[in-house]
A and B are shown apart, each in its own frame.
Chain A
Amino acid sequence: MYVFPVINIILGLLLAPLMIGVINRTKAIFGGRHGQPLLQPYYDIFKLFSKAAVYSTTTSWVFRAGPIVGIAVTIVALLIIPMGGSAGILSFSGDFILLAYLFGMMRFLTVLAALDTGSPFEGMGASREVTFSALAEPALLLGLAALAILSDNMSLAGIFNGLPLETFLAPGGMSIMLVLASFAIVFLVENCRIPFDDPTTHLELTMIHEVMVLDHSGPDLAFIEYSAALKMWVLGLILTGIVTPITGTANPLILTGISIAVLFGIAIAVGVVESVMARLKLPSVPLLLVSATVLSLLAIALSTFTNGMQI
């Protein structure tokens, strides 16, 4: 009974860094280069494990705790998230709220670790990151709430299983489109991608997420990079779960295969977005994030309205 969830977890642990590799390869192709090998993120992580960590004398235990909590959180998130029609091991009713706030906790400790170093760059990056996440959080939660109303179920697994193809064409079907649009924006914000943050910049004044992890080294940095990849995998699975309509009981292997294909499709899409767009000006970012919240709210309004509930 637990075979497929465990297979899903192992697939996640193994394939997450490959998503980053696909994104980088897509950007290279757009740039006319051959680019890094697809497995480069794996080589980077192994290399970092073999190095020693260097800790600044101004830091305390918080600095060391940041990456550890990060990896712990993302692994727990991996245990919750359903994939390919099978529920996660830790799934329960209301688990999507836990998911959102697990990532919140990870962000909180990363920010604390960044502030712990006492460097002004990291403080600046931390304040920007926290602002963006504060604005994006309602979008994520409200969108998930809209889906919960639509599928009449409170656990992630139930939500994704409760959105068959018929729901897309029913009166409330538009709300799924709205939630998807909103989640596309939230995905880019949470994973610190263009148009919110440029992961390839080397100028500290322009970094948001990168600058917070600037002072980590060795295994700490390896944990951070790996947890970033896992976070992208988990958030991508949310998008995949909405997009792949599960009709009845199909073969779980096929469904898992479809999910992985969609995930790498999302990675390619992110690569394309990073190649064609530039970063938004900082004052324009709140506007885009509030728009995402508006889309989620509209989705909720639409789904309650068409389900006949009174407002």
Chain B
Amino acid sequence: MMILALIGIPLVAALLAFVLKNDKLRRALLLSSAIVHFALVIASWLIQPTAILNNWLVVESLELLFLTLTSALFLMSSVYAIGYLGREAHKAELSQDKGFLFNNAPEANFTGCLLMFLSMMSLVVVSRHFGVLWVAVEATTLTTAPLIYFHRNSRSLEATWKYLLICSVGIAIALLGNFFLVVASSNLSGESTILTIDMLIKNAASLHVSWLNAAFILMLVGYGTKMGLAPLHTWLPDAHSESPALVSALLSGALLNCAFLPILRMHSLCMEAGQGEFSSSLLILLGLLSMGFAAIFILRQVDYKRMLAYSSVEHMGVVAFGIGIGGAASFGALLHAVNHSFTKALLFLVSGNILALYKSKSTNNVSGVLKVLPISGVLWLAGFLALSGMPPFGMFLSELKVVEGALNKGEYYTVALFLLLLIIVFIGMAQIVLKMSQGSPSKSTEESFDAEALKEPWTAVIPSALLFAVVLILGLYIPSGLSEMITKALAQVGM
């Protein structure tokens, strides 16, 4: 029942949002659905919801962890959205980069698609059946495409087209992986539940090895496209930088995690079937490759939102690396997923404030953020420090755990490469962020400032501040509830 509500309420709200004419009412609907969803998730912490649909949709520790992340991020984004949509309403924007006017999409589409996105993400997290999982992941692609195209200009259109095509192709490859999995399990007595992860793990020993390996490769490539693993990440910088700030926050913070779940489940299946080394080595390879690509492209990056997008690629690489190593590193990997979600969402929301004021995504035009937008500036600088793994913030602890786990397993060379790439990324980001925060804005940009954006409305600042608080707390100490949940989640997938 609870699971049905988690998926159904945002869906119904989405349908309502499409037909509502009143803007204010629609924004209230958005916020209230987000609050209700979050409340349901918190309730699930206390009472475990019953599994429905023949154990196809189940909520246990792993699912609860990711649901909480998704829901919290969505709540913060909805608060931000209220102010954002109010500012953007029916206003023709002048983009300083291009110097031409563009319009925004109708707000009803935006809100409706946002709510459907929440519903589909919840479905991705709770589904145990690979077929339902596939349908939900493809649905998230389709619901987010209109969101990216909110600012109607040629750049966002290009980003939307790339996103749509590359992710659809990737997910089609994952569908083939699904079918390969069915063939791999054809030794078992045929039942319609054989594509659930539980049934597959139970019968892992009798799966066809070559088909299982082929299925893992296809799913890794397919869902890895959605997750942002290199070399399949090419859509990510474009999509995450061209979409509105809160959409970027949700894409980077919530969607990449949800795309990670199927890979995690397939990895645990491979380990159960004795192919653990094969899948681990692939995960480590793609993880390091992602970090490498991100490091190369962050150096000398001119667009600060693209920088954040590449940083998402890097951190997904860290997560994949950690899970691949296993042991203590997988604890660090899941903790890293949690920390990264909060930190990246915080940074994207703040970048939205900066963009609203300076009207330019290029670091050449942005300087003196600390002076002009005091609260956002502090959050921007502190968020950068959190993102690059500085103590006392959360990412430091999680990356430390990953390194600890890797050293325990004796992977000295990979750890050296890992740390080297982290340092390179830090250098690249530091250049950009410090340049942006310090100094003062140039005369011409100061003249184009919008008085409203200078005031830093509370809807634009409070969500980021709350997220920052969480990141700080997680850095100072890991609450026992969280670490228990992560350990239980790992045990659930047999690691």
Touch test A–B (CB under 8 Å)? no
B residues engaging A (CB < 8 A)? none
